[in-house]
Amino acid sequence: MEIFYLLLAVIAIIILTTKLKIHAFLALFIISILYGIFAGMPYNEIIISINEGFGGTLGKIGLIIVLGVIIGAFLENTGGAFAIAEKVLKIIGRKRVPTAMGIIGYIVSIPVFADSGFMLLHPLNKSLSKKAKISIAGPAIALGLGLMASHTMVPPTPGPIAAAGILEADLGLVIAFGFPTSIVALVVGILFAKKYASKTYIEPEVEDAMEAEKEIKDSPSALKSSIPILIPILLIVLKSILNPTKTGLDNGFIDFFNFVGEPVISLLIGIFLCLLLPKKLNYDMLSSSGWVGKAIKDAASIILITGAGGIFGKILQNSGIANILGQTLTEYNMGIFLPFVLAAALKTAQGSSTVALVTTASIIMPMMSSLGFDSEIQKALVVIVIGAGSAVVSHANDSFFWVVTQMSGMNVNTGYRLFSIGSGLLGLTGAIAVFIFYTIFT
């Protein structure tokens, strides 16, 4: 019966968030409580699970999500993201538009939300497509898939950070494996855009393409813009490499890098580095009505969804369903593909990659040991494979699907044929890459 109730709970979350348009936080929170009641948990145990699930999860990653979103806001508002895009174009070449846009999207989406990244880069995309006299379909799909690759698989993007926090995975290892996995997926995505999507001709309209030329004038240099992203990532990875439990070293130097490599501290350093980006620093930018205030509001929704996911996971753990489900699923011997299939099912059903990441991590978390995912590398790879699943597939119930298709002039059928298939290919490639890493390193 517990497995039946879990299935009902997942279906209820999907219906509440898609059909009834209820916020994912409320849907996860309400369904968690109802599941606990129907599973026969004592009422005081349900309350304890709510407090421990919400507080425990956000105690690990709440601040990290906020700090990451603030860095993204500075890069977006100062034109730093655009400056990075221009630099990539110079290196790749303006004639290789789909390749350039895929790589630009991948880089920009590490600190900036995918939806915002597409809107930010769309004028540049149209301008380049027009100048190259090619269909906008190829570059638009490459850009969308590039944004999605890092959005779902590379911290400090909020979704992967949330999943890593719930599963207690080493963030340095998630980054170390997330980059090569997502890059392999990106290469396949770009090839799909060049070889298939580009054959569908859509005329690029350039009424606002001149905005792309203006953006770069007041923006910081590409190198300067990259520093607030690269330094925190480097510090987090260094902390993972220099961890005393792995190296056996323990001195003041190691202690210092363990401190600055803690994700909260490294991302705070990234925010201080962001203060160098504006041409003239205005303290209103840091106010509750400025860039920082807006970023915190944007982060609130993700934080609440993540916290509710933590509640769901804790109730599943304390109800005993995790052990039952873990034993049942191990008989099917799906291994590392199990989290992928679950995340893909949730993504396809309800649309949001972040909700798919958080919900899947919450369901998988209590049964990690019974499924055999015990080591730090295994935990990191589970996070990434969940991210790959959360890309499969983007269609009409995903807001990003509409951003990509409507801004690029695609009708719904074309969007399904190009972007939905492309996102499915991206996620599946990511899962295969994770499987290869899992076979080699575990």
pLDDT of residue 210: 46
Q: Which residue has the tokens 């201080």?
A: 272
Check if the beta carbon of residue 114 is closer than 8 Å to that of residue 151: yes
Please write the tens of the pLDDT for every residue from 123-151: 788 878 888 888 999 999 999 999 999 99
pLDDT of residue 247: 61
Note down the domain range covering 209: 2-441
pTM value surpassing 0.85:
no
pLDDT of residue 327: 64
DSSP state letter for 262: S
pLDDT of residue 312: 87
Record the tokens describing residue 288, joined without a space.
């509750």
The count of domains in the chain is: 1
Across the chain, which has 442 residues, the per-10-residue mean pLDDT values are 82 84 90 92 94 86 86 87 84 86 92 82 82 90 96 89 92 94 97 95 67 61 90 87 69 84 90 92 89 90 86 84 66 84 86 87 88 92 96 86 87 91 97 96 88
**How many angstroms separate the CA atoms of 57 and 61, rounded?**
7
pLDDT of residue 80: 87
pLDDT of residue 237: 84
Q: Based on the number of CB atoms within 10 Å of its own CB, is 371 exposed (0-12), middle (13-18) or buried (19 or more)? A: buried
pLDDT of residue 429: 97
Q: Which residue has the tokens 């170390």?
A: 176
Record the tokens describing residue 378, joined without a space.
């295994």
